[in-house]
Amino acid sequence: MSPHADSSFVQQAVDKMIDDKSVFGATLRVESGDGSLAIECASGEMHPGDRYFIASVTKLYITAVVLRLRAEGRISLDDRIVGYFPGGELDGLHVLKGTDHTGTITVRHLISNTSGLPDYFFDKTESGRSAADELLGGKDEEWPLARILEANRRIGPRFTPGQKGKVLYSDTNYELAGTIIERICGKPIGEVFKEIIFDDLGLQDTYVFADVNDTTPAQLYYKSNPVHLPRYLTSVPAEGGIVSTTEECMRFLKAFFAGRYFPAEEIESLKQWNLLFRPGMFLYGIGLEKLYVPGPLKPFFPHGDILGYWGQTSAFAWHNPKNDLYFTGTANQLGGPGHNAAGKAMLRIIREWQKQG
């Protein structure tokens, strides 16, 4: 396809993202690896160039930093995490059926979500409510690591670290990974991101959300309700605190898969997939996700793998190697409708790209 080929199908796909009454604004950027397609479209309340919360897409940046530190010999994926918490902060964190497994949790377990630690955000405590229930109900509170760990102790672990075939998406894992990075680098995670990624790529509109009075990111929604969570978002930088734009997130996504932070061939070693059922349904490897297509349906989705990351805000950063396409953007909606809208938009664009190609 030439650079001048019809690309109106991208705008059409983005317009369809806001057909659902729960999605009020969307933005999407798609680029091909060869440069023949590079277009950003927006619809509804959002506009090209808007800043937005990338939420858990931040975890892909954590993966990049961990693998960069490993390449520099400063960390091993098999390091036991208790070595980074010498003050006893993790005491009794993973006690299952009377046995304490805390000392066996490794960095690999954290970034592959195989530690067995519960997710403080979605898992319910003895009160019957989760952090998500409180936050989405309008109770904006800070969740520092100490509070997260205490909630995890009350909830209890789900399985032993590294148990075969077991995986549980847990934001706790990434808060721990972020703290480990901070202790290795001797600076806050926001400064680490800035030094290793943001400045390196010349990103001007990408930063870790740190000011509760910052209103520049696009307004988030939960169902039909605007959501304001500045205190929470400033307290969880490692699991979901980055603000960016589609263009700058795209620069990072391409750099990630091009091997800017670690040898590109190491991508294959991250593809140790386990099927996750919450949030959503997708495959999880080592700091990397893959969109899930059940075996019987694969003949109807001949697009090949789609690798990258979802964010809880319906933000996304995905790479489709078979067609050499990259996608970044958001539906700016906390919950399923936004993810569904974004997923359908990407598939529409891939199909049209294949048709025009």
Separation between Cα atoms, residue 324 and residue 343, nearest integer Å: 17
Side-chain half-sphere of 81: how many Cα atoms within 13 Å? 27
- pLDDT, average across residues 137-148: 95
Task: Please report which confidence band the pLDDT of residue 222 belongs to, taking 50, 70 and 90 as the band edges.
Answer: very high
Give the H/E segment covering residue 242: strand 242-244
pLDDT at 217: 98
From the centroid of its chain, how far is CA 340? Answer: 16
Side-chain half-sphere of 100: how many Cα atoms within 13 Å? 8
> What domains sit in the chain, N to C, each tagged with a CATH number?
8-56+208-356 (3.40.710.10), 61-185 (3.40.710.10)
Among residues 28, 31, 32, which one has the least CA distance to residue 49? 28
Task: Please report which confidence band the pLDDT of residue 242 belongs to, taking 50, 70 and 90 as the band edges.
Answer: very high
Among residues 320, 315, 318, 319, which one has the least CA distance to residue 301? 320
Residue 20 has pLDDT above 80, yes or no: no
- pLDDT, average across residues 192-219: 97
Percent of the chain, pLDDT > 70?
97
- pLDDT, average across residues 126-151: 93
pLDDT at 162: 97
Residue 143 has φ and ψ, to the nearest 5°, of -130, 75
pLDDT at 2: 41
**Burial class of 258 by CB neighbour count within 10 A (0 to 12, 13 to 18, 19+):** exposed
Separation between Cα atoms, residue 10 and residue 269, nearest integer Å: 33
- pLDDT, average across residues 181-206: 98
What DSSP string runs through 275-335? EE-SSSSEEE-SS-EEE---GGGGGG-TT---EEEE-TTSEEEEEEGGGTEEEEEE--BSS
- What's the whole-number average pLDDT of the chain? 93
Which of 159-168, 195-204, 240-249, 333-342 has the weakest average pLDDT? 333-342
Residue ranges in the chain assigned as alpha helix (H):
8-17, 58-71, 107-111, 131-136, 145-155, 171-185, 189-193, 199-201, 230-235, 237-240, 246-258, 336-356
Among residues 48, 52, 41, which one has the least CA distance to residue 15? 41
Number of neighbouring beta carbons within 10 Å of residue 121: 25
Helix (H, G, I), strand (E, B) or coil at 95: strand
Give the residue with greater pLDDT, 299 vs 325: 325
Q: Specify the pTM.
A: 0.95
Separation between Cα atoms, residue 241 and residue 156, nearest integer Å: 25
Residue 4 has pLDDT above 80, yes or no: no
Task: Please report which confidence band the pLDDT of residue 279 belongs to, taking 50, 70 and 90 as the band edges.
Answer: low
- pLDDT, average across residues 318-331: 97
Quick: pLDDT tens for 28-45.
999 999 988 999 999 999
Separation between Cα atoms, residue 305 and residue 289, nearest integer Å: 10
